[in-house]
Structure 1
Amino acid sequence: MPNRSDLQPVLHAAMSLVAADGLKGLSLRPLAEHLGQTVSALTHRFGLKDELLNALIEAAVIQDSAFLDRWLDRIQALNVRDGATMAELADAILSDLAGPEALRTRFYCELLQGVVSRPELAPAVAAWSARRLAFWTEATRGLDRAELDTILHAFSVGDAAYGLALGDLAAYRWLRKLNLRRLCCGLIPADNAQDLRQYQVFRQALGELFDDPSRPVTPPLTEWQAKAAPHISAVIIAEGADAVTHRAIAARAGLANSTLAYHFPRQEDLLRAGAVDMISRARQATAAPARESDFQLTAIQSARATFALALIATRMPGFKAVAADLRRQRGENYVGVLEREMGERVFDVVATQALSLTGMGRMMLDAVMDPAASDAGFKLSERMRATALVER
């Protein structure tokens, strides 16, 4: 591995390119230009693209570990033994990850989204994810809550892209705090009236983005664009936004590249159309992880779609309100699903939102940590519910 100090400016430049344009923006020429170097000088020092990218991920893990170690020192100094304090600390950590550490968090999220189409990156990304899980294991060691480390790790992933897109909104941060409190203190509290009232108030506040007259408005799709949109959303769901190119969509849809480019002049136009299609379907599947045959997207597709939409919103401000709407609606259908399954309403919407986001994060992690276990998100949710029923 190249010298760590030499890699730091390269890592910062690489993460800046990814934040601006996703993983596809991270190629040797723009990276060299960003650093004021030639491509040959860059490859001579750090190797070819794949070798350099793996070195950059390793450098990011080292940087991330230093950040997590600082937080672990604080948690251990506080000798945390209660769920309420752990929830507050977890919220502060996620705020840091979406704020001062946003570039690195964005890099991590883009890798999680893109590793399906670039499986060669899976070992390095899996090592990064394992390091984060190890942090949550140590952070929650003083609490007697089953699998809390696995749960907080998954939730931190499921909510990460939303944090990047919406972290400046107090209403979003409050909903996240409510979810973390349930994860750390029990999904079924003795008295949930206050939680539910807070949820209703801040859910409504998060929806006010749609009423903002200064919000960029996305023009409706033409009839032709609407027919092509499902092909675009399918690529985003399967491979991430980086895989959306005119050539890839034209080949998938059986269209002439020139015809597609006429209707969608820029890649941004393709992404907008794909996002519009995903929104219309993902809104019916915000209950993930629930196995409902009438959802237009499976739970795993919904997880990837909504994760991708939140990442798109960090690049395209016009979709910030959409990300906020999907975030506030997560888990709402799941309340009814569980009520029908159990014959009574045991889990309220705050609990199902926490379950939904945790399951979503677990599904995103499966692609790198346990690709064969496609139902790990379901199983984790089921174990969480079983534990809650025992505790109530």
Structure 2
Amino acid sequence: MRAPQGEALLAAAFRIVVADGLAGLTLRPLAQALGVSVTVLTNRYGGRADIMAAICGAAAAHDAVLLDGWRETLAALGPLPPVVAAGLAEAILEEQSTSGRALSALYLEFLHACTWDETLRPAFAGWAGQRRAFWDDFAGRAALAPPLVACGWWSGYVIAELAYGLALEGDASYRMLRRLGVQRLFAGAVAGLEAADSILFGLLRERMGAAEEADTEAGAEAEAGAETGTSKGRAPAWSAQAARACGLRLAARGIDGLTHRAIAADIGIAHTTLSYRFPTQRDLVIAGLACIAGHIRAAVEADSLAGLQRRRAEADGLDPARASFAVALAAVRLPELARQTAYMRAWRGSNLVNVFARYLPEARGIDALCAQVISLGLTGLTNTMPPGADAEEAVATAYAAAGRWLRGAG
């Protein structure tokens, strides 16, 4: 039996990840997709870590060809004026979300999993570095403020928008919102004298779903057992604990971290008891979304950095930036989550409007669109690192760099 080569390995990985996420990319399903035995697969590539490295290597080689095509275009153009930079950035993101969808899904699944599985990091490092180098070079050609690039904010912006693009590319309102964002970013982020884009931004955000509607529907579905009809009567006392546990696991491990046994163990009940009220994984996802949406709404009401930190502490470690990113990745495989993803994307950064107004009173033109641009970079950066002090410090550094940029100081 002939051993599979790199391109075949990558194609099989694409099919598995698009359907089942990185959690589904285990030896047996991969061998079956390749039409070989597990023994043949491991004899050719080695153990799990070696196979993951081979997949990332093949993906990076495939990606390099695509990125080199864009590099040729950039080299022919020379320095990029803001309008051209915005148009090109959007075109590349659109390509990566459509014709490059499988490759981007694999990239983001690896990136997300590396925040909790350190064994994947060596395999993914080369590919991650390759993509960041491309986008950092793009930023240099567009004369984006160097501190925003050096601290990882710009790379984070691209990563966040790519995740939302995979989930929402079919939504015309999202595509218009993305266009407004990149246009404003390369124009300096702050609103001009004629802020027509601010008005359009507000209209698009409302069209993509008001917070109250999303929260009401998510909460109603969670309490009703996600339309299964199995959850009747008054909710048991542990329902709120279960929803919180779902939100935490969704933020930390994505949808694949939501299993009945894991949630039941988290709150100290039998998994059969949990399954009666939340029969399917989708029910657990909806319960987690209801919890996340509530914390996002609370974060929007904060008017200071201390307030944001307090909200996070009250959330028992639930980070809305990680949660919304995980939901976007989940929506790639579960299209029924697109509406909740659209809501989270539309209202991203709403809390920063109040924070900036208080801490950067001298900066003019900081509107909701400006705040969303800054928030997207912070969101993406957050999700490139494991939770902890290093991630908090990196985000704080990026926030400070963004503040200096908005003040016109760099």
TM-score for the superposition, normalised by structure 1: 0.88
User: Could you tell me which residue of structure 2 aligns to residue 274 of structure 1?
Assistant: 288
Matches within 5 A, 1:179-218: 179-207=181-209
2:169·2:175 contact (CA, 8 Å) conserved in 1?
yes
Establish whether residue 111 from structure 1 lines up as the match of residue 110 from structure 2: yes
Corresponding residue for residue 60 of structure 2: 61
1:373 positional shift = 4.4
User: How far off its partner does 1:318 sit?
Assistant: 2.2
**SS of residue matched to 1:179:** helix
SS in 2 for 1:374: helix
Contact kept, 8 Å, 1:290 with 1:299, in 2: the verdict is: no
1:391 Cα deviation (Å)?
A: 6.3
Matched residue type, 1:280: G
Is the contact made by 2:86 and 2:186 (CA closer than 8 Å) also made in structure 1? yes
- Look up the match of 1:153: 155
Q: Secondary structure at the match of 2:273?
A: helix
How many Å apart are 1:286 and its aligned residue?
Answer: 5.8
Q: What TM-score do the two structures reach when normalised by structure 2?
A: 0.85
Q: Which amino acid aligns with 1:295?
A: R
- Residue pair 1:286, 1:330 contacting (<8 A) in 2 also: no
Q: Give 2:9's aligned residue.
A: 10
Equivalent position amino acid for 1:306 in 2: S
Select which of 275, 295, 301 maps to 2:311: 295
Question: Where do residues 211-250 of structure 1 align in structure 2 (5 Å cutoff)?
Answer: 219-221=221-223, 223-224=235-236, 225-250=239-264
- Gap regions ≥5 residues in structure 2: 225-234
SS at match of 1:9: helix
Deviates more, 1:286-295 or 1:195-204: 286-295
Whole-angstrom CA distance in 1 between matches of 2:67 and 2:220 = 39
Paired with 2:301 and 2:166, the residues of 1 have a C-alpha distance of 22
Matches of 2:56 and 2:389, distance apart in 1 = 20
Alpha-carbon spacing, 1:220–1:388, altered in 2? closer, same or farther (3 Å): closer
Q: Please point out which of 168, 172, 175 is paired with 1:173.
A: 175
Q: How do 1:72-91 residues align onto structure 2 when only pairs under 5 Å count?
A: 72-91=71-90
8 Å contact kept, 1:300–1:363: no
How far apart are residue 273 of structure 1 and its match?
2.2
C-alpha separation between the residues in 2 aligned to 1:179 and 1:209? 20
Q: Residue in 2 aligned with 1:315?
A: 333
Find the aligned partners of 2:59 and 2:406 in 1 and give their Cα distance: 36
Q: Hey, what's the Cα distance between the residues in 1 that align with 2:139 and 2:399?
A: 19
Instruction: Tell me the amino acid that sits aligned with residue 171 of structure 1.
Output: S
Mapped to 1, the partners of 2:316 and 2:67 lie a distance apart of: 34
Unmatched segments (≥5 aa) in structure 1: none
Alpha-carbon distance in structure 2 between the residues aligned to 1:344 and 1:92: 34
RMSD between aligned residues: 3.1
The whole-number CA distance in structure 2 between the counterparts of 1:97 and 1:336 is 33
Displacement, 1:299? 9.6
For the Cα contact (< 8 Å) 1:161–1:310, is it kept in 2? yes
Contact preservation (8 Å) 2:353, 2:371 = yes
Local SS of the residue matching 2:143: coil
* Corresponding letter in the other structure for 1:231: A
| Contact 1:285/1:299 (<8 A) preserved | no
Distance in 1 (CA, whole Å) between partners of 2:108 and 2:246 is: 20
Counterpart check, 1:337 vs 2:351: no
Match of 2:394 among 366, 376, 379: 376
What per-residue deviation string (whole Å, max 9, x for no partner) do you get for residues 197-256 of structure 1? 221232233238999xxx999833252444311112212222332222222222221122
- Over 3 Å counting, the alpha-carbon distance change for 1:380 and 1:333 in structure 2 is same
Q: Distance in 1 between matches of 2:25 and 2:12?
A: 9
Contact 1:282–1:305 under 8 Å retained in 2: no
| 8 Å contact kept, 1:217–1:318 | no
Which range is displaced more, 272-281 or 370-379?
A: 370-379
- Among all aligned residue pairs of Structure 1 and Structure 2, give the percentage whose two residues are the same amino acid: 32
Query: CA offsets per residue over residues 86-135 of structure 1, 9 Å max, x none?
Result: 11100111111111111111112122222232111123333322211211
Distance (whole Å) between structure 1 residues aligned to residue 39 and residue 285 of structure 2: 33
Say which SS state the counterpart of residue 81 (structure 1) adopts.
coil
Give 3-state SS (helix, strand or coil) of 1:188's partner.
coil
> Contact 2:198–2:369 at 8 Å: present in 1 too?
yes
Q: Which AA in structure 1 matches 2:61?
A: I
